[in-house]
Amino acid sequence: MKGQKSQAGVGGNPSRLSNAAPPVTRRADDSVTVLLPGNSPTPIGGYKVAYQIADELARHRHRVQILAMQGPQPFSKLLQTQIGRRSRSRREHWTAPWFEFHREVELNTLRSPRRPLLTGTGPVLLTAWQTAEYFVELGAPRPAFQLVYDFEHWMAADKATRARMSAALLAPSISRVAMSSAVVSMLTEIGSSYIANVSCGVDTGLFRPTVAIDRRADVIGIPLRKEGHKASCDAIEAMALLRETRSDVRIIGFGPGSSLTPPAWIENRGVVSDSELVGIYNECAIFVLPSLYEGWGLPAAEAMACGAAVVSTDNGGVSDFLEDGVNGVIVEAHKPIQIAAAVGRLLDERALRVEIAAAGYERIQRATWPASIDAIEALMWPDA
């Protein structure tokens, strides 16, 4: 289902707006609270998206607070536990060592989820589906907008988790913003409303080429993640197949997949900062995204912004910006032999690799955070 275009340049869904939260009147002292299901000590795409949105809102002179929930259990149980202890609401500060926040972003951990911490007039930006579940149970009297990018979790979820996700994403008091076409398809399957489709973005000021696209050595980058749907094992198997005929190719792995134990021929950089990640992408002639499912495909977009040619599976999310044979190469998910063949072809046909990488770089320049934030602001404050 495709939405119409609004003046903000985003896809809308006008026929489903009856349950949307009322827009808030923009005032100079309005605050924005970004609610997260937790915080991540290592780089995770969903958290990076939320952190980046908070940063951009602060640059637009909003007072921004990020509240990170505590505890993996359902929020209803967490509420019962805290109420039973008769504990008081309190906040504790935290940091994300891999992300440099704008100085005006306030970071707090909400250990006792009680209503006083969500009072005020400004909107609440919900993120992962669990935050919608919590917000509904809490009944906080603030306008709520949810930035939905749960597609990969929906696809990988069991029946019980899907039931909880569906309930959270059907809440009538929340205005939902789909962050990709894949998310639109998920919401449509659930039967949920959404007010717009606003693409995620890339920090193209940070993620940019520092090594010329046509001067890169035969270096391949792969993510190392422990989650099954990230399919890092498929990438490793594909690189093993590639090395049967190209043993001189360098392969760099990175990410928090400490339980994977990659082969010694993979240069495992482990957990890296954004600046280190930019360096890795610029070392690479080719980057491989092997995921079974992606809500948008941030690693592929960042690699494209740095001038690497991307080979990706048809994981859903990358369809918003990656076109097979034009600015990237798309193969079937869970097919290491296809990944190996695609990478091998780009190594053999250098001119094709350079052409695809250059086209990828040009395409991703249209996926910037300022444009996305402008669209989100227009939804929250349509009369501003």
DSSP class of residue 298? H
Q: What is the pLDDT of residues 258-267, one digit of tens each?
A: 678 899 999 9
Angle of CA points 13, 33, 277, to nearest 5°: 85
Amino acid at 218: D
pLDDT at 75 over 80: no
Based on the fold, state whether residues 148 and 238 are members of the same structural domain: no
Is the pLDDT at 25 greater than 50? The verdict is: no
Tokens 């080719």 found at: 286
Q: Could you give the percent of the chain with pLDDT greater than 70?
A: 83
pLDDT in tens, 93-126: 567 888 889 998 988 877 655 544 565 678 999 9
Let me know whether 284 and 190 are in one domain.
no
Does 225 map to a domain?
A: yes
C-beta separation of 174 from 248 below 8 A: no
State mean pLDDT over 304-327.
Answer: 97
- If asked whether residues 177 and 237 sit together in one domain, one would say no
Say how far apart CA 361 and CA 213 lie, in whole Å: 10
Same domain, yes or no, for 49 and 173?
A: yes
- Asked if 69 and 19 sit in the same domain, the reply is yes
Regarding whether 116 and 28 lie in a shared domain, the answer is: yes
Eight-class DSSP state of 328? B
Which residues form the domain of 17? 11-201+368-380
The answer to whether 326 touches 356, Cβ cutoff 8 Å, is yes
Are 116 and 158 in a shared domain? yes
Averaged pLDDT, 136-148: 87
Tell the residue number behind the tokens 């998920």, with chain if given.
186
Q: Which DSSP letter does residue 89 get?
A: P
Model pLDDT for residues 160-214, shown as the tens digit of each residue: 999 999 999 999 989 999 999 999 999 999 999 999 999 999 999 999 999 999 9
- Tell me which of 142 and 190 has the higher pLDDT: 190
What are φ and ψ of residue 193, in 5° steps?
-85, 155
Q: Based on the domain organization, do 233 and 338 belong to the same domain?
A: yes
Q: Is the pLDDT of residue 222 over 70?
A: yes
Count: domains in the chain: 2
pLDDT tens for 340-355 read 999 999 999 999 999 9
In the sheet where 144-148 sits, what is the strand order?
Answer: 11-12, 196-197, 174-178, 144-148, 124-126, 31-36, 63-69, 105-110, 91-92
Inside any domain, residue 207: no
Same domain, 170 and 234: no
Q: What is the CATH number of the domain that holds 292?
A: 3.40.50.2000
Place of tokens 């090594």: 211
Q: Examine the domain organization and report whether 194 and 253 are in the same domain.
A: no
| 274-283 and 298-305 helices, crossing angle to 10° | 60
Please compute the mean of the pLDDT values over residues 344-372 and round it to a whole number: 96
Contact of 122 with 31, CB cutoff 8 Å: yes
Q: How confident is the model at residue 10, as a pLDDT? A: 39
Please indicate, yes or no, whether residues 195 and 243 belong to a single structural domain of this protein: no
| Same domain, yes or no: 71 and 173 | yes
* pLDDT band (50, 70, 90) for residue 8: very low
**CA within 13 Å, CB half, 223:** 25
